[in-house]
Amino acid sequence: MATNEYEAKFLTIDVTAVQSYLSAQGARQVFPRTMFTRLIFENDAVQGEQWLRLRDEGGKTTLTLKQVSDATHIGGTTEIEIEVSDLTKTAELLRATGLRQVRYQQNYREEWELHGIIYDFDTWSDLPTFLEIEGPSEEAVRKAVADLGLDYADARFGSVDLIYQSEANRDILAEPTLLFQER
The C-alpha atoms of residue 123 and residue 70 are separated, in whole angstroms, by: 24
The C-alpha atoms of residue 5 and residue 77 are separated, in whole angstroms, by: 6
Range of the domain at 38: 3-178
Instruction: Tell me how far CA of residue 50 lies from CA of 122, 176, 178, 179, in angstroms.
Output: 22, 17, 19, 22
Q: What is the mean pLDDT of the chain?
A: 94
CATH number of the domain enclosing 132: 2.40.320.10
Q: E strands within 43-76?
A: 50-56, 61-68
- The pLDDT value given to residue 27: 98
- Whether the Cβ atoms of residue 26 and residue 143 lie closer than 8 Å to each other: no
pLDDT in tens, 102-160: 999 999 999 999 999 999 999 999 999 999 999 999 999 999 999 999 999 999 998 99
**167 inside domain:** yes
Number of domains in the chain: 1
Closest CA to 120 of 135, 107, 129, 110: 110
**183 inside domain:** no
Which distant-in-sequence residues (6+ apart) come within 8 Å of 84 by Cβ? 54, 61, 62, 63, 90
- The pLDDT value given to residue 56: 97
- Whether the Cβ atoms of residue 41 and residue 52 lie closer than 8 Å to each other: yes
- Whether the Cβ atoms of residue 141 and residue 73 lie closer than 8 Å to each other: no
User: pTM for the complete prediction?
Assistant: 0.92
pLDDT in tens, 76-85: 899 999 999 9
